[in-house]
């Protein structure tokens, strides 16, 4: 019920206009359950009971690992400057993929001079590429990719 109420809320970098950014969204979501996280995304993942660094793996291997070993609602997914919550798997076009909940500003295309703006809290599958716009860089393709297991 809490996640449903937060879904669709505007993105607020640094809590601009009292809206959550990615780390504040995850923090606000888990706090009512007695899980207290630091404010910054990098500190949040490091505060988890166990951290798995998949930075040395390719995007598909990262996605496969999360699909197989992610624990819904207690696995944080960290990339530089951003954090999201793994909420389980879903099926898209006959393929099982990990689903995340996150408050995100946007996705970057291959050419870094623009963004595909999302600007709100969304349920977003973690895919190698997005069929609607294959030029968008996958969040699984960032230089750093860590999973934090809240135990």
Kindly report, residue by residue over 63-105, the tens digit of the pLDDT: 999 999 999 999 999 999 999 999 999 999 999 999 999 999 9
CA–CA distance, 89 with 27 (Å, rounded to integer): 22
As a whole number, the mean pLDDT across the chain is 93
- Residue 3 pLDDT > 80: yes
CA–CA distance, 5 with 10 (Å, rounded to integer): 12
Cβ 97 vs Cβ 63: under 8 Å: yes
Domain boundaries, given as residue ranges, for the chain: 2-149
pLDDT at residue 23 in the model: 96
pLDDT at residue 113 in the model: 77
CATH class of the domain comprising 2-149: alpha beta
Q: Could you tell me the pTM of the whole model?
A: 0.94
pLDDT at residue 100 in the model: 98
- Residue 114 pLDDT > 80: no
């Amino acid at each position: 019920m809490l996640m449903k109420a937060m879904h669709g809320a505007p993105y607020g970098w640094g809590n601009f206009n009292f809206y959550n950014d990615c780390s504040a969204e995850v923090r606000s979501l888990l706090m009512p359950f007695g899980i207290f996280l630091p404010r910054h995304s990098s500190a949040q993942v490091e505060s988890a009971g166990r951290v798995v660094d998949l930075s040395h793996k390719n995007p598909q291997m990262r996605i496969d690992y999360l699909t197989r070993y992610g624990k819904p609602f207690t696995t944080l997914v960290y990339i530089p400057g951003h954090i999201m919550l793994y909420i389980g798997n879903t099926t898209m076009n006959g393929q099982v993929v990990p689903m995340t909940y996150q408050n995100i500003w946007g996705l970057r295309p291959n050419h870094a001079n623009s963004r595909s703006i999302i600007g709100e809290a969304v349920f977003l599958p973690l895919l190698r590429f997005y069929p609607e716009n294959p030029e968008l860089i996958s969040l699984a393709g960032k230089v750093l990719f860590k999973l934090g297991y809240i135990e």
